[in-house]
Structure 1
Amino acid sequence: MSRMDGKVAFITGAGRGQGRAHALRLAEEGAHIIALDCPSQGAIPHPLATEDDLNETVKLVEKLDRRILGLVGDVRNQADLDSAVESGLAEFGRIDVVVANAGAWSTGPFWEIPEEQWKDVVDIDLLGVMRTLKAVTPHMIERGTGSMIVIASVNGREAGANYAHYVSAKHGVLGLMKAVALELGPHGIRCNAVLPGVVRTPILDWQGGWDLMAGGPGLGTRESMESGGKAYALLKDVGMLPPEATSEGVLWLASDESRYVSGQELVIDGGHMLLPGLNMANIAAAAAEQS
C-alpha cells in the first residue's frame, strides 16, 4: 500500500513549480488531487501560472492513473477557494490534506515597492494561506481529522534585502500556522509549515530575480541566479533546489508518518540556515564577476 492511498489533497498554486511537484509526488503515492491556479496578474511583475500550465499538471497526474480536478481560481478571493472545496467534495467526497502553496514575489527597496505590489504579495502569500485553510476547516472539523501544510520560506525566519513585503508575509505565515495548529489540534487536525530555501521556480527565474543576484536593475542573467544559488547552501554541490526537494517534506507531513507532528517548521534549504550569515552585497558582486 502506498503512503497516500485513498486520500485527497487540495493544492493551491498547482499549475507549475513547487505546486505541480507536490501534486505529482502525492499522486505517485496514491492521492487524488484538487489543483487550483491561474490567478489574475494584478500588480505582480513576474508571469503567473496560465490555464495551459494547469492543464499540463492535470495531464501529468492523470498519467499516474490518479484522478485530478483542475480548477481556475485566485487565493485573493475567498469565494474561489470556497467553490474549489465545494467542487472537490462533490467530486471526491473528502479532503484529507490541504497544501497552501500559492505564492508571489517581487523585488525593490521597501520604500520604492509600489503599494499595490505590497498589497498583492501579502494578499497572496499570507492572506491567501489563511483563506485556503479557512475554506477546508469546516469539513476537516466535521471529519475530525486532516493535515494542513503551509509553504512558508526561510524568509519566515530571516530577513532578506529588497523584498520586505515577501519577508513580512512569510513571517506572518509561520505565526498563522502555529495559531491554527493550536486552535484545530483539539479537532484532530494538524498544521505544519515547510520552509524552502532558494528553489528553481518561475517566481525567481525572471529578470527581477536575476537582477537581485547581480546587484542592480538590468544587470542579471540566468547565470547570475545560478551563481548566487551556489553561494546560498551549505551542502557540497547544492545550489538552487529543484521543486521536488520540497515535495518530499510535503509528502511526509501529509502522510500518517507525521501523525504526531503539529505546529512545526520543516526547513529544506541545503543547510543554509546553519550558516553564520551572508553578505548579499558580496554575493551579488561575485555573481556579477562570473556573468
Structure 2
Amino acid sequence: MSTSGRFDGQVAFITGAARGQGRSHAVRLAAEGASIIAVDICDQIDSVPYGMATPEDLHETVSQVEEAGGKIYAAVADVRDRATLETALSEGVARFGVPDIVLANAGISPQRASEPDPQQVFIDTVETNLVGVWNTVSLVAPMMIARNEGGAIVITSSAQGLIGRGGDGSGAASAYTASKHGVVGLMRSFSAWLAPHSIRVNTIHPTGVHTAMVEHEDMMAWVAADPDRAATMSNPMPIDMVDVSDVTEAVLYLVGESGRYITGVTLPVDAGFTSK
C-alpha cells in the first residue's frame, strides 16, 4: 500500500532501473503511488570494465517495487537502440498510460587505468550517456504533449557535467565528462521546447554515488594511478560518496509538487564537489 500517495495515479518511466539510482527511484516512487515503466540493458557492453546489470537485477527491482505496493512493467532495452526502447515504452504505456514522470537515468562510467581501445570506449559512452538520453526524451515527450497534462523529466548528469576535474585525455574520462555536459545542453533545449506544455526538464548532478558503477577495482585503479587525481576527486564535505537515497530525495523534489515551477535547472547533489 502506498505510504503517502504523493504520486498516486502517476506513471514514471525510468531507464537504467535494474539497480543503483534507477532502482532506488523506482522503489520510492512506487511506495508513494506511482506505476513504474522500467527498462535496463541487462547485458554487458564490452568496453565497460565492471559488471553491468543483469536480468536478475531487473527482476529484483520488480520484486522491490511490488513489495512497496507498486505496479511495474519491466523490459530489457538498450537506450542506444531506439526501436527496442520505443517498443518497451509503448508496452508500458499500454498498461499504465502516458508517463507523468521521466527519469533518463541510464549511463556508464568505464574509467580504467589502461584502455585497450580508447576510441571504442569513447563511442560507447557517448552513445549510452548522451544519445540514449535523447532517444528516451524524444520518444516520450510527444506523448506527454499530446496528453496535455504537463509532467516532469529529470536527466541524470554528474558533478562532472558541470566541471572537468580529473580529465586525463583517455577515452572514458573524456567521453564521460563530455556526455554529462552534453545532457545539460539537451536539458536546456528540451526545457525551452516543453515549458509551454507545462513539462519541466532538469538535470541532477551527483558526486560519486555508492553504486556498482563507481565502486569497482578498475575505477579505484584509475584514481590511484595519479596521486593528484585522488585529491582532485575528493569532496569538500567529509564524505567519500553519497548514497542512492540522497539522489532519490532530490529527484522526488524536482518531480513532485515541490518542484512545480522549477525547469531548466542543474541541481548538484555533490557534497560541495563543484564548489572546489
Query: Is this a same-fold pair by TM over 0.5?
Result: yes
Q: Answer whether contact 1:198 1:229 (CA < 8 A) is retained.
A: no
Could you list the per-position Cα deviations for residues 169-226 of structure 1 after superposition, in whole angstroms to 9, with x for gaps in the alignment?
A: 001010110010001111221100110001111111222111023226xx9xxxxxxx
Corresponding position of 1:121: 125
Q: Partners of 1:115 and 1:50 in 2: how far apart? A: 26
- Structure 2 Cα separation of the partners of residues 120 and 31 of structure 1: 32
Q: Distance in 1 between matches of 2:221 and 2:176?
A: 17
Q: Using the alignment, how far apart are the partners of 1:94 and 1:172 within structure 2?
A: 26
Indicate yes or no: 2:261 matched with 1:260.
Answer: yes
Asked whether the 8 Å contact 1:109–1:164 carries over to 2, the reply is no
1:33 CA displacement: 0.8
Distance 1:229 1:209, change over 3 A: farther
CA distance in 2, matches of 1:18, 1:185: 26
- Measured in 2, the distance between the counterparts of 1:124 and 1:20 equals 18
Other structure's SS at 1:98 match: strand
Q: Paired residue for 1:208?
A: 218
Q: CA offset at residue 109 of structure 1?
A: 8.1
Q: Is the 8 A contact 1:12 1:19 kept in 2?
A: yes
Query: Which residue in 2 is equivalent to 1:151?
Result: 156
1:134 is displaced (CA, Å) by: 1.0
**Distance change >3 Å, CA 231–CA 86, structure 1 → 2:** closer
8 Å CA contact 2:38, 2:74 repeated in 1: yes
TM-score, reference length from structure 2: 0.90
Determine helix, strand or coil for the equivalent of 1:24: helix
Q: 1:132 aligns with which of 132, 136, 144?
A: 136
CA distance in 2 between counterparts of 1:57 and 1:111 reads 32
Tell me, yes or no, if the aligned pair for 1:36 and 1:72 is still in contact at 8 Å. yes
- SS of aligned partner of 2:111: coil
Q: Describe the superposition over 1:21-57 as per-residue Cα deviations: whole angstroms up to 9, x where unpaired.
A: 1111211221111110134423322211100000000
Contact 1:8 1:94 in 2 (8 A): yes
Specify the SS of the correspondent of 1:184: helix
What's the offset of the Cα at 1:60?
0.3
Q: Which runs of 4+ in 1 moved over 3 A?
A: 108-113, 228-231
RMSD: 2.1
Residue of structure 1 in register with 2:30 after alignment: 27
Query: What's the CA shift string for 1:136-188, capped at 9, x where partnerless?
Result: 01110112212111000011111132411100100101011001000111122
The yes-or-no answer on 1:9 pairing with 2:15 is: no
Q: Find the residue that maps to 1:81 and give its secondary structure.
A: helix
Aligned-partner residue type, residue 262 of structure 2: V
1:38 lines up with 2:48 in the alignment: no
Q: Which residue number in structure 2 is paired with residue 283 of structure 1?
A: none
Quote the Cα distance in structure 1 between the aligned partners of 2:264 and 2:117.
32
Corresponding residue of 1:232? 234
Structure 2 residue runs without a partner (length 5+): none
Shift of 1:106: 1.5
Partner of 1:167: 177
- CA offset at residue 112 of structure 1? 7.3
| 1:79 counterpart = 2:83 | yes
Letter in 1 for 2:249: E
Instruction: Say which SS state the counterpart of residue 212 (structure 2) adopts.
Output: coil
C-alpha displacement of 1:113: 5.0
1:50 aligns with 2:54: yes
Output the amino acid matched with 1:201: T
**What TM-score do you get using the length of structure 1 for normalisation?**
0.85
Equivalent pairs counted in the alignment come to 264
